[in-house]
Amino acid sequence: MAVDNPSHLRKQVLSWGTSNLRDLPWRRTRDPWTILVSETMLQQTQVSRVVERLPVVLNEFPDPATCAASTVGDVVTVWAGLGYNRRPVMLHRAATQIVSDHAGAVPSGLKDLLALPGVGPYTARAVRAFAFELSAAVVDTNIGRFYARIHGRKLSAREVQQFADEAAPEDQPWLWNQSIMELGALVCTKRSPMCDACPVVDLCAWVGEGDDPAQGSAAVSVPQTRFEGSDRQLRGRLVDVLRASPLALSEIAATMQTDADRAELILAGLQGDGLVVVKDRQARLP
């Protein structure tokens, strides 16, 4: 089932977006590296935090070549406060590949983008649409939720992308993707959708009545597991300390505030992810 009236959907969403997009730093540029970095940050970090930290990261790494010439540890250090520290490791790997395979310029082809470490279907399409203004149907959690509700049922990942592809206009890829994403973020919100203010309420199969079809639908984010006491928290504690200086292995468990066996497992995980190296009985950033 496609959206009943895709041209009406396009017209309404584009018109709403023209007057409602928030002024955000990554919407003021078409620089592909800035878009790649900001989209990497936005994957798992709040908009307000990304607004604050993006200039700091770009000041250190204004282009892929600068990032690739730095150490992984440099990128992880500048990433402080953003969480999910595998992302700077992957960003460094992507920068290295951009330099080696694309002469330092972020590629625009979907296949080339998807081949970059850490770049998945969302980020690849976001770079195409938001940096190069090339046609692409971006699917993030806001858009996944929006399409599930419009269709009134849970969707598979293939269906969400298919509906997004069908709805996307050939022209205005930047405005279209920003608008539909923003509509999901500001109007078709996770907990309290504002159907009365929705520009496509007449196309919506759900309209906020009964069970939310977005729950359990593909591309829709699931609640985070508890952070307090999690491996994620303990990993973060160690990486935070290593940003300042190397640490003796004998101090790892105390730094993580856990027992030696768990500390050893978490340390091995961090090494496997390329976030920590162990040398001379010390843990350090790579």
Residues engaged in binding ligand SF4 (CB under 6 A):
146, 149-150, 187-188, 193-195, 198, 200-201, 204, 206-208
Least separation in angstroms between CB 149 and ligand SF4:
4
Residues in contact with 74: Cβ distance below 8 Å, sequence separation at least 6, in sequence order: 60
Q: Tokens in use for 272?
A: 């496997």
Measured from the CB of residue 199, what is the shortest distance to ligand SF4 in angstroms?
Answer: 8
**Termini Cα distance of the chain:** 50
> What is the C-alpha to C-alpha distance for residues 249 and 251, in angstroms, rounded to an integer?
5
What contacts 90, CB < 8 A, 6 or more positions away? 40, 117, 118
Q: Provide DSSP, 191-216.
A: S---GGG-TTGGG-S-TT-SS-TTTT
Q: Where are the beta strands (DSSP E) in the chain?
A: 247-248, 277-279, 282-284
Query: Distance (Å, rounded) from C-alpha 60 to C-alpha 286?
Result: 17
Task: For residue 39, indicate whether it is catalytic.
Answer: yes
For residues 132 and 156, the answer to whether their CB atoms sit within 8 Å is no
Q: Are 88 and 75 in contact (CB under 8 A)?
A: yes
Q: Least distance to ligand SF4 from the beta carbon of 19, Å?
A: 17
CB of 76 to ligand SF4, least distance (A): 38
Alpha-carbon span 256 to 162, nearest angstrom: 44
Q: How far is the CB of 156 from ligand SF4 (least distance, A)?
A: 19
Q: What 3-state class would DSSP assign to 31?
A: coil
Could you tell me the two tokens for 254? 């105390």
- Which CB, 131 or 160, lies closer to ligand SF4? 160
Q: 39, 52, 166, 251: which is the annotated catalytic residue?
A: 39
Active site positions, annotated? 39
